[in-house]
Amino acid sequence: MINLILFGTFFIMLFLNIPISVGLGLSSILAMVYAGDKLSVVPTNVYNGMAKFLLLAIPFFVLSGNIMAKAGISTRLVEFIDDCIGHRRGGIAIVCVVVACFFGAISGSGPATVAALGIILIPAMINRGGFSAPFSSSLMAAASSIAIVIPPSISFVVYASITGVSVGDMFMGGILPGILMGIALVVIIMIEVRVKGLEASREKASWGARWKSFRSAFWGFLMPVIILGGIYGGIFTPTEAAAVSVVYGLIVGVFIYREVKWRDLYDLLVDSGKTTGSIMLIIGGATLFSYICTVHGIAGAAQTLLLDISGSKYVFLLIVNVIFLIAGCFVDANSAMYIFIPIMYPVAVKLGINPVHFGVLSTVNMAIGQVTPPVGVNLFVAIGVSDKLKNIKDKTRVTIVSMSKAVWPMIVACVIALLIVTYVPFFSTAFLGATT
């Protein structure tokens, strides 16, 4: 009965559009009341879930991403990548995918990537590239989902805080899968170009122009290098790397690009605080939810069931993908991590699956979930961006229905990439010197 109360009330609140953090916390408390548990453990568990040193990286990465977005790095990245490949057929759409990967390595957030790049690239894909408004918005949303796979990723930090896996190893494990997802989306673009008969929309840029735009974007490209290089060079820990990224972002934004003014810092801190607060509330509620599952034997029973049903790690991985893909339609990546990873991770270890590999494929699943209706957060951010656009050729109003139709080929392509990542561990462990 407690299972029904815990999960039933959570999904009811989810469909009532109650915030996920509140739904997780309230459903856990209702289950505790039914079971006669002491409610005094609620604040303790919520606090313990959020008070982890590793999670300090989250507010720093959020703040550094906001600073670099304010610094105008998105415009500079678009200009350089456009100079390199924009002259090809479907070039501006390919630019969208490539820039989303680079900007994701700065922001670590899918919705933030959509918001920062969508205002530039969606109208460019419509007006210059000849793509439809729903396709352009859907591609922006799908490409931005790679942000939580390309390091540094907040989802990797959350996974590491749950399992104890090295954050640095998780960051390295996400590089090839992120690139693979990008290639999958480029394939969809080329198919769309051939079907619609679209031609190149600009002349090939000169090497002089490319060099000029590269010099302008250089400081943005350098940020992920500093973070990953510092971690693997033993200069600082992942949490310290996040703090360094804030200092670096301020130096670039204030003194080099001169786009960030000191008066902007208040708004940047407030916005970052809001984003971090929402993430931490989800982590607190999800920690309590996970506690109830453990104390009342729900997690243990689920682990036994998974072992009995799967029989082998290949079947288990398929089941994990199905569960995560379905969960991604309704909950965000961080909530899904806290709900399912404590249950699935011990089973994965027993079956001999590399912890980094398992974390990466779980995160790729959650990335796909950001563009799967009905709750794909990137889709709704893209709709919000599209609603603000003016002077575009395609006046079709972008809705969740039209985007759902346009995005499904991209979801299929990303699922194929997911299956490759799932069953070819090399893509997750190539830079670790590890095997599974």
Q: Around 344, how many Cα atoms within 13 Å sit in the side-chain half-sphere?
A: 25
pLDDT(120) > 90: no
Helix, strand or coil, per DSSP, at residue 97: helix
Which pLDDT score, from 0 to 100, does residue 436 have? 41
Which pLDDT score, from 0 to 100, does residue 295 have? 81
Nearest Cα neighbor of 359 from 224, 108, 161 is 161
**Helix residue spans in 233-354 (DSSP H):** 238-250, 265-295, 298-310, 313-328, 333-350
Please give the average per-residue pLDDT across 26-31, as a whole number.
88
Q: How confident is the model at residue 18 (pLDDT cuts 50, 70, 90)?
A: confident
DSSP letters for 17-80? T--HHHHHHHHHHHHHHHHT--TTHHHHHHHHHH--GGGGHHHHHHHHHHHHHHTTHHHHHHHH
From residue 173, how far is each of 89, 103, 241, 424, 426 by CA, in Å?
Answer: 32, 18, 17, 13, 9
Which pLDDT score, from 0 to 100, does residue 180 have? 94
Nearest Cα neighbor of 81 from 169, 178, 205, 189 is 205
Which pLDDT score, from 0 to 100, does residue 270 have? 92
Could you tell me the sign of the dihedral formed by the alpha carbons of 276, 366, 372, 135, in that order?
A: positive
Q: At what angle do helices 73-85 and 91-107 cross, to 10 degrees?
A: 140
Q: How confident is the model at residue 423 (pLDDT cuts 50, 70, 90)?
A: very high
Please give the average per-residue pLDDT across 176-201, as a whole number.
90
pLDDT(107) > 80: no
Helix, strand or coil, per DSSP, at residue 257: coil
Q: How confident is the model at residue 231 (pLDDT cuts 50, 70, 90)?
A: confident
Which helix (H) or strand (E) segment holds residue 415: the answer is helix 400-423
Q: Which two tokens stand for residue 392?
A: 């575009």
pLDDT(17) > 60: yes
Which pLDDT score, from 0 to 100, does residue 392 have? 75
Q: Give the residue carrying structure tokens 């309230």.
A: 26
Please give the average per-residue pLDDT across 130-137, as a whole number.
88
* 59 contacts: CB under 8 Å, gap ≥ 6: 272, 273, 276
DSSP state, 363?
H
Among 283-292, 300-309, 389-398, the least confident range: 389-398
Q: What is the mean pLDDT of the chain?
A: 85
The Cα 18–Cα 60 span in angstroms is 28
User: pLDDT tens digit string along 139-180?
Assistant: 999 998 998 898 888 888 889 988 989 888 898 899 999 999
pLDDT(123) > 80: yes
Helices and strands (H and E) in the chain: how many: 21, 0
Which pLDDT score, from 0 to 100, does residue 394 have? 64
Contact 248, 63 (CB under 8 A): no
Please give the average per-residue pLDDT across 215-230, as a whole number.
84
Distance of CA 374 to the CA centre of its chain: 17
User: pLDDT tens digit string along 39-69?
Assistant: 888 888 888 888 887 788 888 888 888 888 7
Q: Give the residue carrying structure tokens 């500079």.
A: 76
Please give the average per-residue pLDDT across 228-234, as a whole number.
79
Q: Give the residue with greater pLDDT, 15 vs 206.
A: 206
Nearest Cα neighbor of 96 from 61, 125, 64, 135 is 125
Which pLDDT score, from 0 to 100, does residue 357 have? 94
pTM: 0.85
Q: How confident is the model at residue 434 (pLDDT cuts 50, 70, 90)?
A: very low
The Cα 380–Cα 403 span in angstroms is 10
Nearest Cα neighbor of 341 from 178, 158, 148 is 158
pLDDT(435) > 60: no
Nearest Cα neighbor of 223 from 351, 69, 75, 91 is 69
Please give the average per-residue pLDDT across 223-237, as a whole number.
81
> Apex CA 78: angle with CA 72 and CA 83, to 5°?
135
